[in-house]
Amino acid sequence: MMDGTLVLGAVAYDAKVVPIWDGFQRWFRSQGLDFDYVLYSNYERQVEQHFAGAFHVAWNSPLAWVEACRVAKKRGRAARAVAMRDTDQDLTSLIVVRADSPVRTLADLGGKTVGCGAGDSPQATLIPLEHLAREGLLAGRHFQVRRFDVLVGKHGDHVGGERDAARALLAGDVDAACMIDGNHLTFTNEGLFARGATRVLAQTGKYDHCNFTVLDGAPERLVARFQELLFSMRYDDPSVRPLMDMEGLKRWCEGRTSGYDLLESACDRTSWLDGFLRRMGAA
């Protein structure tokens, strides 16, 4: 990597990712920070390359954050979250049924089929299934799971799996569907769900989503300047508002790590990360 250039790693989960980071690149450079980025097709490769030293800062999904923390701990290193969006904090997922469904309580899901997003989606699979497990309902034992594995490796950033689960719910192919609360609203606003057509059966506890992750050994001066510029962004500033709109936030916040407990528990219960951690020598 070039000296004096802060390099970010991100996953290309959608075509809009390129204009987003191109825009941030121009803005950071206008503020005197030489900034560049590299894109990966999946988060596992991104985490692997972060530890290989290919870039300084990772724009990580919540699952990639957990992966990075566990690899770092095994290798005697440290990972820290340096920033996140205001919209990454205190989210919940929903388990939704049709309004006319006979399923009235979680116990009624016994013997039924629950639609989920991609298998590696924290918001539409791992966390809602962990919520059900804590309520005494285990996937594969008390109910069946139908996963909609759209773009596995992108950790549910692409909402196609959630949307497919929602369509399956409407079609009667599943008895309930899991999705992040914001997407339930989106599906209603865009007309996929007619108003009043669905009912929220359960809501998970709160959790956090993406964060900017750095590993020990990252250039502190560049990382500090990166944070300083992020926190200086104001939504009423016309030079940055389009960038913030594209990335879906009103304000950058300090990174925190207190909102990943549900996901950590889900990973432990399902052993979802075991294969990746073995490949990374961190099992």
Give 124's DSSP letter: I
pLDDT tens sequence for the chain (283 residues):
557 999 999 999 999 999 999 999 999 999 999 999 999 999 999 999 999 999 999 999 999 999 999 999 999 999 999 999 999 999 999 999 999 999 999 999 999 999 999 999 999 999 999 999 999 999 999 999 999 999 999 999 888 999 999 999 999 999 999 999 999 999 999 999 999 999 999 999 999 999 999 999 999 999 999 999 999 999 999 999 999 999 999 999 999 999 999 999 999 999 999 999 999 999 8
Residues 99 and 195 in one domain: yes
Q: Where are the beta strands (DSSP E) in the chain?
A: 5-11, 34-40, 57-60, 79-85, 93-98, 113-116, 144-147, 176-180, 198-203, 211-215, 252-254
Report the pLDDT value the prediction gives residue 237, as an integer from 0 to 100: 97
Assess whether 133 and 66 both reside in one domain: no
73 and 132 fall within a common domain: no
Residue 258: CB atoms within 10 A of its CB come to 8
Domain finish residue from 137, 168, 203: 203
96 bridge partner residues: 177, 200
Residues 192 and 217 occupy one common structural domain: no
| pLDDT value of position 283 | 82
Are residues 234 and 103 both part of a single domain? no
Number of other residues whose CB lies within 10 A of the CB of residue 77: 14
**Can you give the pLDDT at residue 3?**
75
- How many structural domains comprise the chain? 2
Distance from the Cα of residue 116 to its chain's centroid: 15
Judgement on whether residues 121 and 168 belong to the same structural domain of the protein: yes
Last residue of a domain, one of 181, 203, 225: 203
Domain identity same for 119 and 53: no
The whole-angstrom distance between residue 253's C-alpha and the CA centroid of its chain comes to 16
Instruction: For residues 25 and 117, state if they share a domain.
Output: no
How high is the pLDDT of residue 2? Answer: 59
3-state secondary structure 248-261: CCCCEEECCCCCCH
Do 194 and 212 lie in one domain? The reply is no
Structural domain range at position 189: 93-203
Question: For the residues of 254-281, what is the DSSP string, one character each?
Answer: E---TT-HHHHHHHHHHTTTHHHHHHTT
Give me the pLDDT at residue 16, please.
93
Q: What is the CATH classification number for the domain harbouring 21?
A: 3.40.190.10
What lies within 8 Å, CB to CB, of 216 at 6+ separation is 72, 77, 78, 79
User: What are the CA-CA distances from residue 266 to residues 160, 256, 262, 272 (Å)?
Assistant: 22, 19, 6, 8
Last residue of a domain, one of 177, 203, 229: 203
How many CB atoms within 10 Å of residue 238? 8
What are the φ/ψ torsions at residue 258 (nearest 5 degrees)?
-85, -10
Q: Are residues 103 and 182 in the same domain?
A: yes
Same domain, 77 and 137: no
Q: What share of the chain is helix, strand, coil (3-state, %, to 5)?
A: 40, 20, 40
| Cβ proximity of 127 and 93 under 8 Å | yes
Q: Are residues 171 and 236 in the same domain?
A: no
Answer yes or no: are the C-beta atoms of 263 and 127 closer than 8 Å.
yes
- pTM, to two decimals: 0.96
Name residues whose C-beta falls within 8 Å of residue 162's C-beta, 6 or more positions apart in sequence.
Answer: 117, 121, 123, 124, 148, 156, 177, 178, 179, 180, 183
H helix or E strand, kind and range, residue 128: helix 127-134
DSSP-derived secondary structure letter, 87: G
Six-digit token string for 94:
């929903």
